[in-house]
Amino acid sequence: MFVRRFLVAAAVCLPLAACTPSQTIKEQNQPLQSGRQLSAAQAAADKGKASAEPAKAASTPEIRDDLPPMPTLDLTVPPTDLWQRIRNGFGMRDISSPLVADREAYYLNRPDTLRQIMQRSRKYLYYIVDELERRGMPTELALLPMIESAYNPRAYSRSRALGMWQFIPSTGKNYKLDQNWWRDERRDIIASTNAALDYLEYLYEMHGDWHLALASYNWGENAVARAIAKNKARGLPTDYASLPMPKETRYYLPKLQALKNIISQPELFGFLLDPLPNRPYFATVGLPGDMDVALAAHLAEMPVKDFIDLNPAYQRPVIHGDKDTVLLLPQDKLDVFNANLKSYTDQDKPLATWRTYRLKRHESLASVAKRYKISLSGLKRLNGIGRHTRVRPGLNLLVPGPHARVPAQLLTELPKDPRLRRTSHHYRHRHYRHRRVKHRHVRHHRRYTIKRKSTHTAKK
């Protein structure tokens, strides 16, 4: 039994033993493949892998980034749009407050007014931006006349501030802006801009902060200095937002920030901002002597109103010229003016045709206006005669000569003399005080009279 089982097991194991060693030896005895055969096999494997990868990629959807590329700004290339040049020069820190949103809504709810301000600024912006960049100042300051005067160089305020930058008489004198009978340089485009930027630089050096400098420009440097001193004494912050100030000054910076936001992204606010060419609008030309305003506009072949918009400092029908007197003309009118001026002077024609007339005894302004064929109101305006000006014999008047040009625009567009408004205001103030004193004296006299009568009656 044991022998049978042994024989069966041996019969089963012998074939297995004979098979396995022979197969192993056969595999071991196979010749090694050459290097060229290995390379070919590897290349075939790589090709098969590469062909499998596109199939896999085709089955897997590709994920792409739909975000637009980051915009780049090359400051070495000047932009063709002046608004973009202004945006590139923004350097003041932004403020965010409900007052800014309030002013944004204010401007956007008045699109016609805002568009008119932008249109009016086109004549002056290039010069102002150019000066700001030359001085290294932030271009937000080019938006300041939009707040001060809506870019109207003839603007006049109740505080007697005048011009695009709204200089009061005393500050204008401090910065050497002439104010005389012939002209007021607070209206002059170049002189007032240079004075305003000088003043802003001085205020920035005083505070070291543009927000406080602008508050000083609006409120007054001494007022801001007193507010800073009070906050320091109380241990409070001294920044713009922490200082107590009038309502006008509190809204001053939010107005500027609102305009900055609208100009930065007009499409975001739904405002159409027309492109503005990044080139000078006007050029300067020297004046050879006295010249009529109407004649200068005629030689430049432009309307009187447009000529006065660039030369608003001259408030008489004659420009009193000296060696420093210059005219501003559009770039495309400069050659035309010079050619016409040469042709005009070659004919020995006078450049100034207005002359002085001395008022005679028993003569009225109405009779003089009738004689020289201009309206009475026009004669008064051209000579700076107000309601309270003393008209008496010997008064010198400017009247047109035989060949003088007196267009209708000259009588309506020529800037008014600001001293007339000051005289009228001071007269009313003095007259009101005089009436108060007079009435107080009358009341006192009545009381004294009644008291004397009552004492006399009691004695009786």
**Has 148 been annotated as catalytic?**
yes
Angle, vertex CA 438, rays to CA 435 and CA 443, nearest 5 = 120
- Contacts within 8 Å (CB) and 24+ apart, 115-123: 115/272, 116/150, 117/146, 117/150, 117/151, 118/273, 118/274, 120/150, 120/151, 120/152, 121/145, 121/146, 121/151, 122/276, 122/281, 123/281, 123/282, 123/309, 123/310
Residue 209 neighbours by CB under 8 Å, 6+ apart = 239, 240
Residue entry with tokens 């071991």? 28
CA nearest neighbour of 147 among 229, 259, 53, 47: 259
Residues contacting residue 59 through CB under 8 Å, at least 6 positions apart: none
- Smallest CA-to-CA distance from 154 within 142, 164, 143, 145 is with 164
CA contacts within 13 A on the Cβ side of 314? 24
Residue type, 353: T
Supply 414's token pair: 């020529």
Residues 228, 20: Cα–Cα separation, whole Å? 103
Contact 282, 312 (CB under 8 A): no
Contacts with 232 (C-beta within 8 Å, 6 or more apart), sequence order: 238
Instruction: Tell which residue, 350, 243, 229, has the closest CA to residue 289.
Output: 350
What's the burial of 179, exposed, middle or buried (CB within 10 Å: 0-12/13-18/19+)? middle
- Which residue type, as a one-letter code, is found at position 288? P
How is 157-209 classified by DSSP, letter by letter?
-TT--BTTTTB-HHHHHHTT--BSSSBBTTS-HHHHHHHHHHHHHHHHHHHS-
Q: Which of 104, 140, 148, 221 is catalytic?
A: 148
Q: What is the dihedral of CA 367, 373, 377, 380, to 10 degrees?
A: -70
**Do 156 and 418 form a contact (C-beta atoms < 8 A)?**
yes
- Active-site residues, by number, are 148
